[in-house]
Each structure stands twice: as C-alpha cells, then as structure tokens.
Amino acid sequence: MQSNRSKFRLGILFPFLFLFVFYSCKKDEDEVTPELTQEQKWTSEIFSAMQAIYLWNDALPATLDATKYSTAEKGLEYLSGLKINSETGQAIDHYSFLDKIGKLSGEISQGTASGDYGFMITAAYNASNQVSFFVTYVYKNSPAGLAGVARSYEIISINGSTAVHPEASSDGYLVATSVGYTTVVNALFNSTTASFGFKRPDGTTLTTPLSAGSYSINSVLCDSVYTVGTTKMGYVVFNQFLGASSQTELTNTIDKFQASGVEYLIVDLRYNGGGSVETCEKLSSMLAPSSANGKTMYSHKMNTDLTQYFVSQKENLSVNITKTNTFQPKRIYFIVSGSTASASELLINNLQPYYTGNLFLIGQTTYG
C-alpha cells in the first residue's frame, strides 16, 4: 500500500506518427544521400518532432543518421534513452512509444476498438496450485462480452487443448517459451478466431468460439453503490480515458453517485493506463470540492524553447479546475497498480492538494 503522499511523475506521450504530415525532409539537391526506407523516414521525422516538442530535447544530438536504425521503434528507443537520471543511471523516459497503426489513438478519439476479442487476462495460481490465466476485465459490447465471458473466469482450454497452464520460474516470472504460455498468447494476440473454454468461480464451465471484431468500448466497467452502516460508498472501475464517450459515462456515474447520497468514493484505476488529458481534466473538476473551483489543476512543463515561446505569447501554462456539478465526496480512495499510468496519475495529483488527509492510495506503486 502506498502512502497518500506518494509522488507521481507525469509522462506526456507525443503521438509522433500523427506529426508526420507537419514535417518533411528537405534534401539538398547537390548532396548525394542514401535512399531511406520508410522506417528510416519515420525515424527522421520522429527526430525532427522531438527536437521541437520533446521535454528532454537538450539531451538529443544535433543530427541523427537514420540509416543506423532498421525500424522507427529502434530509432525512438535510442532517442528516448539519452536523458539519464543521475541518481539511478537509468533513462528518465520510459513513457514514449509509437502508435504506428493508430490503434490506440483511434480508441481514445472514437471510443471503439477492433481486431481483438475484448478481454484481458492475468496469471495467478488456481485452486489446484497450477499457474493459470484469469480474465481481469471484459468490454460488454465486445465479442467476449456478448458471449457471456466475465471477470474472474479461468481459461481451461483453447481449441480443445488443455495445455494452457504456463510454467513459472523460481523467481515468479512466466516462462515465455512454455507451451501453456505460447498457446494462450498466440490465441489472444496472434489469431482472429479461437474456441475458448472457461471455468466460472462456481465451478461451472463455458466453452465458446470467439472471432475478433469491432466494438464500442465502455470505459466504466462497473459502478455500484454500497451501504456500510449508515454511510453510502460509491465504487467505480474506470478503465481508460477515452474522449466524448468516457465523458458521458463518467457524468452518468457521478450523477448516479450524487443522487444516491454517496459520501465515500472508491475509484479503481488498476488497469487504467491513461488516455485523453481533456477527459482527465473533466473528471478532476467533477470530483474536486467546490472550494477548489478556479484554482490550479496542473501546470504544463515544457522544454526551454517551448516555454520561452508560450511565455512570450503571454499564454497561461496552467489549467484550472472548473466545477460544473455539486458532487463532493468526503473521502476518495484510489486503487492503483503498476499499470496505473499517465492521465490516471494526473487525476490523482490534480485532486491530492484539495483532499488533504482524505485522499488515499491502495495497491502498488504506479507506473510513473
């Protein structure tokens, strides 16, 4: 369990590939240069973008030979590893990544997903002391959700094979070459159709064929109101900061909690890796106390060049809380894990100054 005073570092991830249309490489007509592959062209454009907007652009080289990198991922890996933490000797940036095909950005902006079954798994020991894969969450409109798959179901077979139990090393890590591991991973991430066998918590089973498809994402996986003694407690599992669809879901959930007289709020962010900062701002304002209205939510931190530019334009680098509802819980509990990242961490940091002594973190150290 982390202290409610745990510090977070917000990693801002730039969608580099969407910047390609704004950058172009100009070749000196008198200079003979080797023909770049598409991946190397992307690497060059990523480098140009990072020189302009990257927080740690002071660590970047003056020039980059893109021919040294066979893929854009390798180029980004090199560039993002240049800024070193002097205390740990490790790279500071473990946030940046490429959304090469636009899958993640599409999910965030449109609230839809495609090409998968719509559920996620984790490994744990089952009742027979075997390492097994269990369903952690299911999107209700996905192929898995429509087939009746639910959280806590254990995978017991795939395409009729029961070789679905991965081996674990002595230090607790899964052996990626074990048959049970490859069977499940290939079915989930490298196939578009498979027959899954599940065991429910009550011991009954479900066998169902699944085909990867497109579906709308429900970012609120669960919202419930519980009465403990005379106190109403609201519990919400919020899985991803999407755009307008998340904002609608969150507004409905908060309205439900307010109408039910919720005083203590539990926000489960264990599987929430972030997403739309705009949605984070809206949720922060919805959960903030009335006394915080108009006060600083967070401030942008940029590289020196960008900071000087925005200051010269008299731009305000701070974002303020804009309270539009009257919901004001007495306490907020955040359930977090190593997968809680980015906008999720920003949400906690936004609210922490305004809930002194009444905001608590439960779980593991967050990603940032």
pLDDT digits (tens, 9 = 90+) for 35-77: 899 999 999 999 999 999 999 999 999 999 999 999 999 999 9
C-alpha 266/C-alpha 330 separation (Å) is: 11
User: Class for domain 220-363, per CATH?
Assistant: alpha beta
- Whole-number average pLDDT of the chain: 91
Check pLDDT > 80 for residue 28: no
Domain ranges within the chain, ordered by starting residue: 16-101, 112-216, 220-363
Q: CB neighbours of 145 closer than 8 A, spacing ≥ 6?
A: 118, 119, 138, 139, 215
Q: What is the DSSP string of 111-154?
A: SEEEEE-SEEEEEEE-TTS-EEEEEEEE-TTSHHHHTT--TTPE
Residue 274's closest CA among 352, 367, 188?
367
Which residues share a beta bridge with 236?
Answer: 223, 267
Check pLDDT > 50 for residue 277: yes
C-alpha 138/C-alpha 135 separation (Å) is: 7
C-alpha 72/C-alpha 43 separation (Å) is: 5
Shared fold status for 112-216 and 220-363: no
Is the dihedral angle over the CA atoms 14, 17, 20, 26 positive or is it negative?
Answer: positive
pTM, full prediction: 0.86
C-alpha 223/C-alpha 245 separation (Å) is: 16
Read off the pLDDT band of 25 (50, 70, 90): very low
Check pLDDT > 80 for residue 308: yes
pLDDT tens for residues 130-184?
999 999 999 999 999 999 999 999 999 999 999 999 999 988 899 999 999 999 9
C-alpha 319/C-alpha 299 separation (Å) is: 6
Secondary structure letter of residue 198 according to DSSP: E
Check pLDDT > 60 for residue 115: yes
Check pLDDT > 70 for residue 248: yes
Average pLDDT on 199-211 reads 98
Q: Are 284 and 351 in contact (CB under 8 A)?
A: yes
Residue 130's closest CA among 158, 162, 167, 160?
167
Q: Which of 5-9, 94-98, 263-267 has the lowest mean pLDDT?
A: 5-9
Residue 233's closest CA among 128, 365, 325, 329?
329
C-alpha 320/C-alpha 316 separation (Å) is: 10
CATH code of the domain made up of 112-216: 2.30.42.10
